[in-house]
Amino acid sequence: MTWTEYLVPLGQGAWVTIQLTFWSTIFGALLSFAAGIGKLSRNPLIKALSIGYIEIFRGTSLLVQLFWLYFALPLLGQAIGIDLRLPPVAAGVLALSLNIGAYGAEVVRGAIQSVSHDQYEAATALNFSDRQALWRVALPQAIPEMMPSFGNLAVQNLKDTALVSLISLQDLAFKAEQIRNFTQDSTTIFTIVLAMYFGMALVLTAMMKVLERSVGRWRTARS
Amino acid sequence: MTEPIIKFDNVVKRFGSLTVLDHLDFEVNPGEMVTIIGPSGSGKSTVLRILMTLEPIQEGVVYVGGEPLWHEKKGDDFVPASEKHLRKMREQLGMVFQQFNLFPHMTVLRNLTEAPRQVLGLSKKDALERAEELLEMVGLTDQAKKYPHQLSGGQQQRVGIARALAMRPKIMLFDEPTSALDPELVGEVLKVIRSLADQHELTMLLVTHEMHFARQVSDRVCFFDKGRIEEQGPPEELFTNPKKPRTREFLKQVLDPDA
């Protein structure tokens, strides 16, 4: 097997990695907003749930979360008589989303809190409700502030997907290990894999930059 | 006798141990233009911020249009106002801020149409019509598509005035509207405020350090000191013949600082 022949299976693995990254970043972003806004809620229950979620998922290992969802949850379900078995893809996307969402929530919370108090006063003076003030005044100003951190988290998430190979998902890392077992050609394989992750990270970073620019267009308008 | 549109009845406002308004009684009649002057820390901006519901009070009652602002009647008792009550009361008030507080992510036009559309439920067409009328009034028709940071301070403050007026309030509160402006930009903002005062349709409350302007446009000037009204009266009287020594001292300092 020559190194060019590695590219087909590795390419298949990379495609799985891309899909995992895509979905877990999308769901992670949704969770970030839900928990980040929830942490600022005046409702004590919503606030407590958000803080609980954020602290648990930031305070435990992603690998353990992944194993827990894939191996422990079904047994727990069995004990109480519910089928909680998750397909590997679902467990993988869920663990990655929950993890990235917990970190993202702190980014969302911080960015919302960095919006000037004057802006909320203007919103009150114009008789906006709290919800309108959040969605129409605070968030549009906070989102451009979040983008650099979200860019970092997305790249972090891409690299974290390698862990899902441990629950038998055939991502890039899994394929690499598979070919390596077969050929023992560690140097070539891992060099290619390194380059592939790096290439994907570059593309992801560029995409986040485009997104950052488009949500912050008003900041750079020229006269 | 007309019923006052604004009435402070024995109002106390504290920030921690600091008393900002000390059992204040204060009334404004409909259509009246009242200017509040006084040293910093005398509580003049606080009066406006209480009316705009940005600061709660600790004692007393504030009435707007005959109804308690920070309270609701429950039987014969006054209970603290709900958010619903506050939102209803706020419909009557508009505020212009020292730092303009425009929404930086919206164009000038959108700054003027957003609240009428979202809060008052105006159609897009009606909100645009209203905004264009107001932009013409403040002389900024050609700036409608720009963002606030692309405008001068004076232009931003004129947008601020138009934005508040777009909600059609009965009472306009101006909180040091020219204090953050370069001296050469003050005139264009005062001109807009003067044209509003000349129409006598709005009740206006202005906190300012522009003494000459206050003298020209006000129906009444109130001198605040230590959380109370030390002296008030028609501008000619207060500026030329102040009765209280504290008023004389303050006016001497601000009108003739070199002497």
- The CATH code of the domain that includes A16 is 1.10.3720.10
Q: How far is the CA of A63 from the CAs of A30, A96, A98, A161, B142, in angstroms?
A: 22, 10, 12, 10, 59
SS3 A60: coil
Mean pLDDT score of chain B: 93
Q: Which residues of A4-41 are buried (b: 16+ CB within 10 A; e: fewer)?
A: eebeebbeebbebbbebbebbbebbbebbbbbbbbbee
Indicate the residue of B87, B95, B114 with minimum beta-carbon distance to A136.
B114
**Closest residue, chain A, to B169 (C-alpha):** A126
Residues 6+ apart with CB under 8 A from B40: none
- Interatomic CA distance for residues B103 and A137, integer angstroms: 7
Q: Chain A residues with CB inside 8 Å of B163's CB?
A: 126
Banded model confidence at residue B138, pLDDT cuts 50, 70, 90: very high
What is the residue type of B99?
Q
Banded model confidence at residue B1, pLDDT cuts 50, 70, 90: low
Give the model confidence (pLDDT) of A171-200 as tens digits. Answer: 999 899 999 988 888 899 999 999 999 999
Is the pLDDT assigned to residue A219 strictly greater than 90?
A: no
Minimal CA–CA distance to B131: which of B114, B147, B156? B114
> Is B52:A124 a contact under the CB 8 Å cutoff?
yes
SS3 B152: coil
- Mean pLDDT (whole number) for A102-113: 96
> Is B51:B69 a contact under the CB 8 Å cutoff?
yes
- Mean pLDDT (whole number) for B106-133: 96
Banded model confidence at residue B259, pLDDT cuts 50, 70, 90: low
pLDDT at A223: 55
Mean pLDDT score of chain A: 93
pTM of the model: 0.88
Tokens of A7: 């590219």
pLDDT at A190: 92
Report the share of chain A in percent with pLDDT over 70: 99
- Mean pLDDT (whole number) for A202-221: 91
User: What are B's interface residues with A at a Cβ cutoff of 8 A?
Assistant: 52-54, 83, 87, 90-91, 93-95, 97, 99, 101-106, 114-115, 118-119, 146-147, 149-150, 163-164, 167
pLDDT at B199: 84
- Mean pLDDT (whole number) for B5-26: 93
Q: How far is the CA of B75 from the CAs of A91, A124, B71, B82, B106, in angstroms?
A: 58, 29, 12, 15, 44
Angle at which helix B183-199 crosses helix B153-165, to 10 degrees, equals 20
- Mean pLDDT (whole number) for A206-211: 94
Banded model confidence at residue A100, pLDDT cuts 50, 70, 90: very high
Name the CA dihedral angle for A67, A68, A74, A80, rounded to a multiple of 10 degrees: 170
Q: Chain B contact for A45, CB < 8 A?
A: no
For residue B125, count CB atoms less than 10 angstroms from its CB and return exposed for 0-12, middle for 13-18, buried for 19 or more. Answer: exposed
What count of residues does chain B have? 259
More confident residue, A5 or A142: A142
CA distance A170 to chain B (A): 44
Q: Chain A residues with CB inside 8 Å of B87's CB?
A: 127, 129
- The boundaries of the domain holding residue A145 are 3-222
pLDDT at B120: 95
Residue where the block lists tokens 């301070």: B153
> Is A143:A211 a contact under the CB 8 Å cutoff?
no
pLDDT at B168: 95
CA distance A30 to chain B (A): 22
Residue where the block lists tokens 């909180």: B175
- Residue contact A141–B118, C-beta within 8 A: no
DSSP-derived letter for residue B33 is: E
- Mean pLDDT (whole number) for B156-165: 96
What count of residues does chain A have? 223
CA B216 to chain centroid, in Å, comes to: 17
SS3 B174: strand
Is the pLDDT assigned to residue A19 strictly greater than 60?
A: yes
- Residue contact A127–B119, C-beta within 8 A: yes
More confident residue, B122 or B257: B122
- Mean pLDDT (whole number) for A29-44: 96
- How many contacts does A have with B, using Cβ atoms within 8 A? 67
> Is B111:B97 a contact under the CB 8 Å cutoff?
no
Is the pLDDT assigned to residue A105 strictly greater than 90?
A: yes
- Residue contact B149–A124, C-beta within 8 A: no
> Is B243:B200 a contact under the CB 8 Å cutoff?
no
> Which helix H or strand E contains B194, and what residues bound it?
helix B183-199
Q: Please count the structural domains in chain A.
A: 1
Angle, CA A41 vertex, CA A49 and CA A37 arms, to 5°: 80
Is the pLDDT assigned to residue B2 strictly greater than 80?
A: no
Angle at which helix B124-137 crosses helix B153-165, to 10 degrees, equals 130
Q: Chain A residues with CB inside 8 Å of B114's CB?
A: 126, 136
CA distance B119 to chain A (A): 6
Angle, CA B111 vertex, CA B108 and CA B117 arms, to 5°: 135
